[in-house]
A and B are shown apart, each in its own frame.
Chain A
Amino acid sequence: MSQRQVLQVFEQYQKARTQFVQMVAELATRPQNIETLQNAGEPGARTRVASRALSPRRLRPAALPVELLGSRSVGTGVRKSIHSFQRVFGGQAERVKLPDACGRCALSLFPSSLHTGVMSLLRTLLLDVVPTIQQTAALALGRLANYNDDLAEAVVKCDILPQLVYSLAEQNRFYKKAAAFVLRAVGKHSPQLAQAIVDCGALDTLVICLEDFDPGVKEAAAWALRYIARHNAELSQAVVDAGAVPLLVLCIQEPEIALKRIAASALSDIAKHSPELAQTVVDAGAVAHLAQMILNPDAKLKHQILSALSQVSKHSVDLAEMVVEAEIFPVVLTCLKDKDEYVKKNASTLIREIAKHTPELSQLVVNAGGVAAVIDCIGSCKGNTRLPGIMMLGYVAAHSENLAMAVIISKGVPQLSVCLSEEPEDHIKAAAAWALGQIGRHTPEHARAVAVTNTLPVLLSLYMSTESSEDLQVKSKKAIKNILQKCTYLPALEPFLYDAPPNILKHVVGQFSKVLPHDSKARRLFVTSGGLKKVQEIKAEPGSLLQEYINSINSCYPEEIVRYYSPGYSDTLLQRVDSYQPLNN
């Protein structure tokens, strides 16, 4: 009989441990419990809790934890589980009543330099004999570390990581998944924490996990690697040096969609930092597989694949050419019609990154009909989703005038002017203004195409408005200047005479002075629309460029008309009347 009693004690202990760890794991899913979990089990827990003023009423100190329990029913579960655990482990029934005493005895049994409450408890449970408890403890740790970076730092400081890494190599797949989850949760917050993970040698074990048979383990390991590689180039290089990239490429070919997603996002985060890393990814043969999967109907997968391809192609011409050789056109254009906003955004980002390098690549995009697709995509989106498309049009038009003409005949200019006037955000407006400037600056034909859509007054108003950001003002000024220098479409220039600031007025008048001497109809129109009058009213310093332009305009007209329209002519006439002596008195 006594043997049974002894065994019963052990069973109780195991049950208590299991219950504790399961409750903690469950509670850690909700953020409001995590604070309580953090502070539970500490010797100064009561006073700490009182200082947090959870309940406004003043209470006897001994009753405070009970009050806590009453105010949050969930906290009850926390306390209870911790109490029961401590009770059993303390092995003495009398001490159950006082939580702090139990806490003290518990803590005295777990010597750790940092009493971070539940962390230290979970740390010892990680080395438990029973595998289920280990796994659940790891899961609970992961959820805690996921919540905020203080807890993640606490995980690192409590030396939990080396234990995790050590046992990762030899445990079953559930433990591996949970441990990879912890590493991911710790690594995602900041580069220092990710560096700590790398320093304790976790990368090799994670790479070993990538070779596991179970897709869940592979997914967890790939996710952890992704979060580590995301921060900066050195960490990405460390991940690549551990040999992760070929395995990730293998993971992409697996049938499970979740695994494909994570592997694609990991490759994307590795490749985004520098051209060498992108080259490593390409050398592992990722581009062909990624390009094949563009046709997959899953929206999140497409989003990650397009992001990966755009990160690879953004660094240099060779990489962009390699991506293009994988025959993504015209399949990528179908992604521009997808329902999901992120897929559209990433697809237009990819096309932008390819088109921006050289005129040949832009030509390729134009020949494949990419410009029309991008313009339609811009029309169907709102906000930040439009931005890559707008920039793509600007890049294409900037390379050469033929490409700019191609953009114009694809009806890009009306769309861009709509963006310019509709969008509330300044950076999108600035991008649209820049793109319009790139289109219109090549030849008078181009400038005419831009001016016909009545965008120039909008640009002018953006430049003059005090609410626009500096970037927007600078870009719109440059765009106006570039377009005006080539614009010969006079009806669009006339409004500028009236409300333009002097530095722009100079260019406008200069353009008039270039066009008017050769075109009689334009001269007539200029007079009848009141332009000549306005020009006379402009005050310019003699000898300046503006005065020269005015003079050249005046020389196009006979003197009487010029005098007629000069300001104060009526006064001079009246003066002459006054001073005129009739011949016969």
Chain B
Amino acid sequence: MATLARLQARSSTVGNQYYFRNSVVDPFRKKENDAAVKIQSWFRGCQVRAYIRHLNRIVTIIQKWWRSFLGRKQYQLTVQIQRRWRGYRVRKYLFNYYYLKEYLKVVSETNDAIRKALEEFAEMKEREEKKANLEREEKKRDYQARKMHYLLSTKQIPGIYNSPFRKEPDPWELQLQKAKPLTHRRPKVKQKDSTSLTDWLACTSTRSFPRSEILPPINRKQCQGPFRDITEVLEQRYRPLEPTLRVAEPIDELKLAREELRREEWLQNVNDNMFLPFSSYHKNEKYIPSMHLSSKYGPVSCKEQFRSENPKKWICDKDFQTILPSFELFSKYGKLYSKAGQIV
């Protein structure tokens, strides 16, 4: 009852209160509604997004697999093409295998050629050296033999290298036989060319054609005309010189003969220097001339007796020399060219 009474007391205000409360809440209601709507919409959006993301992932996986499958197929095709292209390129442009082989072959051939050439060169050098060595040895041996030529065996006495107990002589013996003995080196005297008569005559004639040892042909047609026999003519033309006695002997033959005689005498000399008297032995001795020589009255000489000399009248100081010997007539006997003056 009490509550009823209370309620009745408040009944008039309840309606106002109810109305007031509702009206007051109205703007809030709208706000809250909007808020709730917002929250719900956002949450739904999240849900949907998550779903979409999930879907996306799955789609990506599928696409990935599909694309890889496609790519693998493509890959094989492209690799084949690329493989072929690369091989071609390398072979043609970068590394020509066959060219390399050729080159190496050429190189090895060149090497062989060079090796052969060098070997030949070395051999040649060795041969030359050996030859030079041999020649040197030869020369040395020859020189030795020439120095030892006196060891050569004579008819009576066998030499060192030709011992009678040997079957055959030592090779040195033969070498010694071949060797010419060494001579002392004399100063080389320049030899004046001795011009002999024949040389002079042969070269002076300008019209002389060369002497040939060939005889003229046997069957020779006689030339028509007043010609002499060709053989006679040639004989006459090329008769060898027969100089006269006067011409053949040299002008100073006397002097030459004297020289020769002196040379022969010189050979017999023991020493070139004249044997001098023991000068010191006789140094202090005064020379005592003989009586015949010491007097001014000497023996009568023929020259002074019969002929007096007058030196002031002489043309020159020296005595006359005999240049030309006499008796030229005798040398002409029987050798004249023409038969005119012949003795029958």
**Real binding pair:** yes
Chain A residues packing against B (C-beta within 8 Å): 330, 333-334, 336-337, 339, 366-373, 376, 402, 405-406, 409-410
Does B245 sit within 8 A of A, measured CB to CB? no
Which of the candidate stretches B8-16, B22-30, B99-107 sits at the interface with the other chain?
B99-107
A-chain residues with CB within 8 Å of residue B111 when the two chains form the complex: 369, 371-372, 409-410
B-chain residues with CB within 8 Å of residue A376 when the two chains form the complex: 115, 118
B-chain residues with CB within 8 Å of residue A372 when the two chains form the complex: 110-112, 114-115
CB within 8 Å of A: which of B114-172? Answer: 114-115, 118-119, 121-122, 125, 129
The answer, among B103, B108, B119, for a CB contact under 8 Å with A410, is: B108
Q: How far is the CA of A406 from the CA of B105 in the complex (A)?
A: 9
Q: How far is the CA of A141 from the CA of B92 in the complex (A)?
A: 75
Are the CB atoms of A369 and B104 closer together than 8 Å?
A: no
Does B113 sit within 8 A of A, measured CB to CB? yes
The answer, among A337, A369, A371, for a CB contact under 8 Å with B121, is: A337
Please give the distance in Å from A390's CB to the nearest CB on chain B: 18
Q: How far is the CA of A114 from the CA of B256 in the complex (A)?
A: 77
Please give the distance in Å from A396's CB to the nearest CB on chain B: 12
A377 to chain B: closest residue by CB: B118
At the interface, is chain B mostly helix, strand, loop or mixed? helix
Q: How far is the CA of A513 from the CA of B112 in the complex (A)?
A: 40
B-chain residues with CB within 8 Å of residue A406 when the two chains form the complex: 104, 107
Please give the distance in Å from A109's CB to the nearest CB on chain B: 51
Q: How far is the CA of A369 from the CA of B108 in the complex (A)?
A: 8
Please give the distance in Å from A355's CB to the nearest CB on chain B: 14
Q: How far is the CA of A409 from the CA of B101 in the complex (A)?
A: 11
The answer, among A334, A336, A337, A367, for a CB contact under 8 Å with B110, is: A367
Given contacts A337-B121, A339-B125, contact A409 B104 (CB under 8 A): yes
Please give the distance in Å from B15's CB to the nearest CB on chain A: 90
Q: How far is the CA of A405 from the CA of B97 in the complex (A)?
A: 13
B122 to chain A: closest residue by CB: A337
Q: How far is the CA of A409 from the CA of B109 in the complex (A)?
A: 10
User: What would 18 A/B residue contacts be, using CB atoms closer than 8 Å?
Assistant: A330-B114, A334-B118, A336-B118, A337-B121, A337-B122, A337-B125, A339-B125, A366-B107, A367-B107, A369-B114, A371-B111, A373-B118, A402-B100, A405-B100, A405-B104, A409-B104, A409-B111, A410-B108
Apart from A334-B121, A372-B112, A410-B111, what are 13 other A-B pairs with CB-CB below 8 Å? A330-B114, A333-B114, A333-B118, A334-B118, A336-B118, A337-B119, A368-B114, A369-B111, A371-B107, A373-B115, A373-B118, A405-B100, A409-B104
A-chain residues with CB within 8 Å of residue B122 when the two chains form the complex: 337
A407 to chain B: closest residue by CB: B107
Q: How far is the CA of A367 from the CA of B111 in the complex (A)?
A: 9
Please give the distance in Å from B109's CB to the nearest CB on chain A: 9
Given contacts A339-B125, A372-B112, A402-B100, contact A409 B107 (CB under 8 A): yes
A-chain residues with CB within 8 Å of residue B121 when the two chains form the complex: 334, 337
B-chain residues with CB within 8 Å of residue A409 when the two chains form the complex: 104, 107-108, 111
A-chain residues with CB within 8 Å of residue B119 when the two chains form the complex: 337
**Residue in B112, B118, B121, B129 whose Cβ sees the most chain A Cβ within 10 Å:** B118
Are the CB atoms of A410 and B118 closer together than 8 Å?
A: no
Are the CB atoms of A368 and B100 closer together than 8 Å?
A: no
B-chain residues with CB within 8 Å of residue A402 when the two chains form the complex: 100, 103-104
6 pairs of A and B residues whose beta carbons are closest in the complex: A369-B114, A372-B111, A369-B110, A337-B122, A406-B107, A337-B118
Q: How far is the CA of A86 from the CA of B104 in the complex (A)?
A: 81
A-chain residues with CB within 8 Å of residue B110 when the two chains form the complex: 367-369, 372
Please give the distance in Å from B90's CB to the nearest CB on chain A: 14
Q: How far is the CA of A339 from the CA of B112 in the complex (A)?
A: 21
Please give the distance in Å from A467's CB to the nearest CB on chain B: 37
Please give the distance in Å from B108's CB to the nearest CB on chain A: 5
CB within 8 Å of A: which of B15-44? Answer: none
Q: How far is the CA of A367 from the CA of B125 in the complex (A)?
A: 25
Please give the distance in Å from B130's CB to the nearest CB on chain A: 12
B-chain residues with CB within 8 Å of residue A369 when the two chains form the complex: 110-111, 113-115
Q: How far is the CA of A422 from the CA of B266 in the complex (A)?
A: 78
Please give the distance in Å from B103's CB to the nearest CB on chain A: 7
B-chain residues with CB within 8 Å of residue A371 when the two chains form the complex: 107, 111
Q: How far is the CA of A272 from the CA of B110 in the complex (A)?
A: 33
Please give the distance in Å from A340's CB to the nearest CB on chain B: 11
A-chain residues with CB within 8 Å of residue B100 when the two chains form the complex: 402, 405
A336 to chain B: closest residue by CB: B118
Q: How far is the CA of A440 from the CA of B31 in the complex (A)?
A: 90
Please give the distance in Å from A533's CB to the nearest CB on chain B: 40
As a 0/1 sequence over residues 172 to 206 of chain B, the CB contacts with chain A under 8 angstroms (1 = contact) are 00000000000000000000000000000000000
B120 to chain A: closest residue by CB: A337
Q: How far is the CA of A372 from the CA of B112 in the complex (A)?
A: 8
Q: How far is the CA of A19 from the CA of B290 in the complex (A)?
A: 59
Please give the distance in Å from A366's CB to the nearest CB on chain B: 6
**Residue in B104, B111, B122 whose Cβ sees the most chain A Cβ within 10 Å:** B111
Q: How far is the CA of A416 from the CA of B51 in the complex (A)?
A: 78
Please give the distance in Å from A57's CB to the nearest CB on chain B: 50
